[in-house]
């Protein structure tokens, strides 16, 4: 596959370049700010032949990215987090295929399933979500924390409400889920879902030890989406193809 990396000059973009170089695919071009050949700050300047786009960038680039992809009918893997609304992505997915996930690691997507099951099984337990990331991360809480909230909320028939960074003088409501973001150093990404019962606590934690796991997951997603013609997919669709064999 000839791949366009959106956010090629960023931390994840650079890891993805190395991951693609170690595969049988090719980095055809990138979006970012650089004087290097084949790197552009405007999608209109991309003239290379592109089979698939992988996006690790910023919500600011979502509209131009989707305009480019839908006009040229190029499949897209979106990994960028901090996107407020799914409206544009839903609309674009009717014209070109899109995979969207806040986390492309294998373990987080298993954690998502576990968290939903535990939430459904331990109906009376209080649930809190904690995420820790490096000091360069801009969005909070993480895209993964949002995914994990949706998972535990599904387990309780969507009766839970999120309380971001709890503060003030009010006791915890039984249906609230506190979501807490820690930022510091070079932490790649740690997510914990804690279930508090009477006299017992169950913690489910995923720790990422490298950014490469996200790059590899996004490349698997690209291999999956490049064969599709339209529609919105998530990592579960890819897990079924790649890990259930
Ligand atoms: N879903 C997943 O599995 C994962 C998702 N992420 C997400 O990926 C995103 C990127 O993360 P990270 O690489 O750490 O961030 P960085 O800040 O290191 O990189 C951001 C990239 O986007 C580019 N960019 C941003 N705005 C513009 C713009 N207006 N025009 C052109 N280029 C732009 C930057 O270009 P330049 O610096 O040249 O201006 C840079 O290449 C984040 O949303 C993060 O949460 C991260 C890891 C895993
Ligand atoms: O910005 C990051 O680094 C990460 N972002 C994703 C998120 O917001 O959940 C995934 C991963 O945790 C790393």
Q: Looking at residue 239, what is its pLDDT?
A: 73
Q: Contact at 8 Å (CB) between 20 and 39?
A: no
Q: What is the 199 CA–ligand 1 centroid distance (Å)? A: 43
- Say if residue 23 is in the same domain as residue 73: yes
Cα 150 from chain centroid? 13
- Say if residue 120 is in the same domain as residue 177: yes
How many domains is the chain built from? 2
Q: Contact at 8 Å (CB) between 87 and 62?
A: no
How would residue 188 be classed by pLDDT, with cut points 50, 70 and 90? very high
| C-alpha pair distances (Å), 140 with each of 93, 98, 161 | 26, 24, 17
Residue range 103-127, pLDDT digits in tens: 999 999 999 999 999 999 999 999 9
- From 17, 53, 58, give the residue whose CB has the most ligand 1 atoms within 8 Å, as the site to mutate: 58
How would residue 238 be classed by pLDDT, with cut points 50, 70 and 90? confident
- Domain containing residue 79: 2-100+211-243
Cβ-proximal residues to 242 (8 Å cutoff; 6+ apart), any chain:
220, 224
Residue range 75-86, pLDDT digits in tens: 999 999 999 999
- Say if residue 204 is in the same domain as residue 220: no
- Say if residue 150 is in the same domain as residue 188: yes
End-to-end CA distance of the chain: 23
Residue 176, domain CATH: 3.30.360.10
How would residue 236 be classed by pLDDT, with cut points 50, 70 and 90? confident
Structure tokens at 142: 């993480």
- Say if residue 171 is in the same domain as residue 132: yes
- Say if residue 118 is in the same domain as residue 197: yes
Q: Can you tell me the distance from the alpha carbon of 64 to that of 45, in angstroms, rounded to the nearest whole number?
A: 12
- From 19, 32, 216, give the residue whose CB has the most ligand 1 atoms within 8 Å, as the site to mutate: 32
- Say if residue 66 is in the same domain as residue 10: yes
33 is catalytic: no
ipTM for the assembly: 0.99
Q: Can you tell me the distance from the alpha carbon of 189 to that of 64, in angstroms, rounded to the nearest whole number?
A: 28
Residue range 135-168, pLDDT digits in tens: 999 999 999 999 999 999 999 999 999 999 999 9
């Amino acid at each position: 596959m000839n791949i366009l990396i959106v956010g090629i000059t960023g931390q994840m973009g650079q890891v993805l370049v190395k991951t693609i170089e170690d595969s049988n695919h090719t980095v055809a071009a990138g979006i970012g700010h650089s004087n290097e050949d084949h790197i552009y700050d405007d999608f209109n300047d991309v003239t290379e032949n592109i089979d698939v786009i992988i996006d690790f960038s910023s919500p600011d680039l979502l509209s131009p990215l989707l305009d480019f992809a839908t006009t040229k009918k190029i499949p897209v893997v979106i990994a960028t987090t901090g996107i407020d609304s799914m409206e544009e992505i839903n609309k674009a997915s009717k014209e070109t295929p899109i995979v969207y996930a806040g986390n492309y690691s294998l373990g987080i997507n298993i954690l998502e399933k576990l968290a939903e099951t535990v939430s459904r099984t331990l109906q009376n337990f209080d649930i809190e979500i904690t995420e820790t990331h490096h000091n360069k991360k801009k969005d909070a809480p993480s895209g993964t924390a949002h995914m994990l909230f949706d998972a535990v909320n599904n387990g309780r028939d969507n009766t839970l409400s999120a309380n971001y960074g709890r503060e003030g003088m009010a006791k915890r409501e039984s249906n609230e889920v506190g979501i807490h973001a820690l930022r510091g150093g070079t932490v790649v990404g740690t997510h914990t879902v804690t279930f508090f019962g009477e006299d017992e606590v169950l913690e489910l934690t995923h720790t990422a030890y490298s950014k490469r796991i996200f790059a590899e997951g996004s490349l698997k997603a690209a291999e999956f989406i490049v064969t599709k013609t339209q529609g919105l997919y998530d990592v579960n669709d890819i897990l079924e193809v790649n890990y259930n064999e």
